[in-house]
């Protein structure tokens, strides 16, 4: 493999095999209500393969099985899709939606474990992470599926979308609690702009079209690039049948947001959306890292900063503000507040060199405007923090004896280049200054990952 590609070196160096290890060593005490699986996903090309873009590497899932205070196993498996065996996405008959890397995210819905990549169909996995095959919702899904679906915590519905650089540019789908596709709507007036994530509120679906759009000249295999001519805007679509025809678009400042933290309707009926965004320099810097181009300078203030957009539907305008000065990504919340107003959100703060510097886990208190930082030290890279309510299985009031929104745990897999090892940390989400609740020593260094989920046994 080429040592020139940053996504094949350091924290991102792929592993070369699939293993299973049982009875993992635990320091501290694993809360018994943490009974389930933490499953994470990312790109891990097979030995001898150098993808032209980080996102083109084949997907590999890593899982840790916890049960009633024990760490029963760790295992990693490639998602065995046609793309893993070299089948191309584009064929003479058009795109092959099964030729997926399946390397961006992994979720559970209606009892199915799905590995996701936004350009393809999802791939179903077993509880032991073996590949079942492409899943099309019983033939009802004939488009790609976003890697960032949203499950409404009240209705149990799964909202997801298909985005394409060619018409139809955007299709919104809704599946029922039991996994049946209920509705699919083509969204009018959408453009070829790259749409990676989106958000829902109690009554609306929120899309973001930033300044990144289809670029036929891009030769990395991911045909998108920054365009000053592409309008940045937020689309607010009413949920329910016929909602797509009533979508309203609101122009915002030039930029691109890869991920949303959350969206909700405030007491005045306004739509509040938050997430990290970059400008032109920040996007190009990230893109050059993803494709392995040499120009990756650390220009001041070029990283992704958290923004808040407040969309006043009645007045027809948007208020846009930067709410923090840290370079952050991978925002998460207590998913019980998806689409509803939340107080706390979490993110990872990155050093300027995008490499092996000091990474920090951040907790924001949106009510009082404070933040709490947990630095990890040089050579330590935590994964996106997954929140697990302490009451998930036990019915208890939380890790700190509270029924607050942050009563629970943050799960993060920390890669350590100094020791060539990784560990799973269980942190008290109510106070990051406390020592870890538990540490699970993993049997190998786990490469830096993108997204993942906690799957309780009840699911």
Q: Is 62 annotated as a binding residue?
A: no
Q: Quick: pLDDT tens for 259-289.
A: 999 999 999 999 999 999 999 999 999 999 9
Going by pLDDT thresholds of 50, 70 and 90, the confidence category of residue 93 is: confident
Give the residue among 175, 170, 164, 163 at the shortest CA–CA distance from 108: 175
Q: Quick: pLDDT tens for 170-203.
A: 999 999 999 999 999 999 999 999 999 999 999 9
Going by pLDDT thresholds of 50, 70 and 90, the confidence category of residue 314 is: very high
Mean pLDDT of 364-372: 96
pLDDT in the model for residue 299: 63
pLDDT in the model for residue 297: 57
Going by pLDDT thresholds of 50, 70 and 90, the confidence category of residue 396 is: very low
Percent of the chain with pLDDT over 70: 94
pLDDT in the model for residue 298: 58
Q: What sign does the CA torsion over 176, 180, 185, 190 have?
A: positive
Mean pLDDT of 375-392: 91
pLDDT in the model for residue 400: 41
Q: Is beta strand 123-125 parallel, antiparallel or unpaired with respect to 421-428?
A: unpaired
Going by pLDDT thresholds of 50, 70 and 90, the confidence category of residue 105 is: very high
Asked whether 346 and 332 are in contact (CB, 8 A), the reply is: yes
pLDDT in the model for residue 1: 41
Asked if the model's pLDDT at residue 394 lies above 50, the reply is no
Give the residue among 95, 108, 119 at the shortest CA–CA distance from 61: 108
Q: Exposure string (b/e) for 234-258, b if CB count within 10 Å is 16 or more?
A: bbbbebeeebbeebebbebebbbbb
Q: Is 451 annotated as a binding residue?
A: yes
Asked if the model's pLDDT at residue 354 lies above 70, the reply is no
Q: Which residue has the higher pLDDT, 302 or 17?
A: 17
Q: What is the DSSP string of 83-122?
A: GGGT--SEETTEE-TT-----SEEEEETTEEEEE-TTS--
Q: Quick: pLDDT tens for 335-350.
A: 999 999 999 999 999 8
Asked whether 305 and 274 are in contact (CB, 8 A), the reply is: no
Measured CA to CA, the distance from residue 390 to residue 69 in angstroms comes to 13
Mean pLDDT of 53-62: 97
pLDDT in the model for residue 391: 73
Measured CA to CA, the distance from residue 68 to residue 175 in angstroms comes to 32
Mean pLDDT of 393-418: 74
Close Cβ partners of 180 (under 8 Å, ≥ 6 residues apart): 137, 138, 140
Asked whether 79 and 102 are in contact (CB, 8 A), the reply is: yes
Q: Is 196 annotated as a binding residue?
A: yes
Q: Which residue has the higher pLDDT, 152 or 302?
A: 152
Mean pLDDT of 295-303: 64
> Can you list the alpha helix ranges (DSSP code H) found in 244-376?
280-291
Measured CA to CA, the distance from residue 153 to residue 405 in angstroms comes to 14
Q: Is 148 annotated as a binding residue?
A: yes
Asked if the model's pLDDT at residue 353 lies above 90, the reply is no
Asked if the model's pLDDT at residue 146 lies above 90, the reply is yes
Left if phi > 0, otherwise alpha if psi is -120 to 50, otherwise beta: which for 189? left
């Amino acid at each position: 493999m080429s040592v020139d590609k940053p996504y094949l070196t350091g924290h991102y160096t792929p592993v070369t095999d699939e293993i299973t290890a049982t009875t993992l060593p635990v320091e501290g005490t694993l809360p018994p209500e943490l009974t389930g699986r933490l499953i994470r996903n990312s790109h891990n090309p097979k030995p001898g393969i150098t993808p032209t873009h980080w996102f083109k590497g084949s997907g590999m899932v890593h899982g840790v099985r916890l049960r009633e205070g024990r760490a029963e196993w760790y295992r990693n498996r490639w998602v065995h899709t046609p793309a893993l065996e070299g089948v191309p996405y584009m064929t003479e008959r058009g795109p092959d939606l099964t030729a997926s890397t399946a390397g961006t995210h992994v979720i559970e819905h209606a009892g199915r474990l799905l590995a996701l990549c936004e350009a393809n169909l999802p791939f179903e996995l077993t509880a032991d992470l073996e590949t079942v095959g492409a899943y099309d919702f019983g033939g009802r899904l004939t488009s790609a599926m976003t890697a960032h679906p949203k499950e409404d915590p009240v209705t149990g519905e799964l909202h997801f979308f298909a985005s394409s650089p060619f018409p139809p540019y955007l299709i919104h789908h809704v599946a029922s609690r039991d996994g049946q596709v209920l509705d699919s709507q083509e969204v009018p007036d959408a453009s070829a702009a790259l749409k990676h994530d989106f958000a829902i509120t109690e009554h609306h679906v929120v899309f973001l079209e930033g300044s990144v759009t289809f670029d036929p000249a891009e030769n990395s295999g991911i045909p998108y690039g920054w365009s000053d001519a592409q309008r940045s805007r937020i689309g607010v679509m009413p949920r329910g049948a016929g909602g797509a025809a009533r979508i309203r678009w609101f122009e915002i400042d030039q930029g691109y947001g890869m991920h949303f933290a959350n969206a909700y309707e405030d007491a005045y009926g306004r739509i509040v959306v938050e997430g990290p965004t970059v400008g032109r320099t920040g996007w190009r810097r990230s893109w050059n890292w993803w494709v392995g181009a040499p120009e990756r300078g650390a220009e001041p203030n070029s990283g992704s900063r958290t923004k808040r957009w407040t969309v006043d539907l009645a007045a027809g305008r948007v208020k846009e503000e930067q709410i923090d000065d840290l370079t952050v990504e991978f925002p998460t919340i207590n998913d019980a507040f998806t689409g509803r107003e939340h107080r706390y959100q979490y993110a990872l703060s990155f050093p300027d060199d995008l490499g092996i510097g000091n990474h920090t886990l951040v907790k924001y208190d949106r009510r009082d405007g404070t933040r709490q930082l947990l630095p990890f030290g040089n050579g330590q890279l935590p994964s996106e923090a997954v929140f697990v309510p302490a009451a998930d299985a036990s019915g208890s009031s939380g890790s700190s004896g509270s029924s607050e929104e942050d009563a629970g745990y943050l799960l993060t897999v920390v890669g350590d280049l100094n020791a060539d090892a990784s560990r799973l940390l269980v942190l008290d989400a109510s106070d990051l200054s406390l020592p870890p609740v538990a540490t699970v020593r993993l049997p190998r260094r786990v490469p830096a990952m993108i997204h993942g989920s906690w799957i309780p046994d009840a699911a």
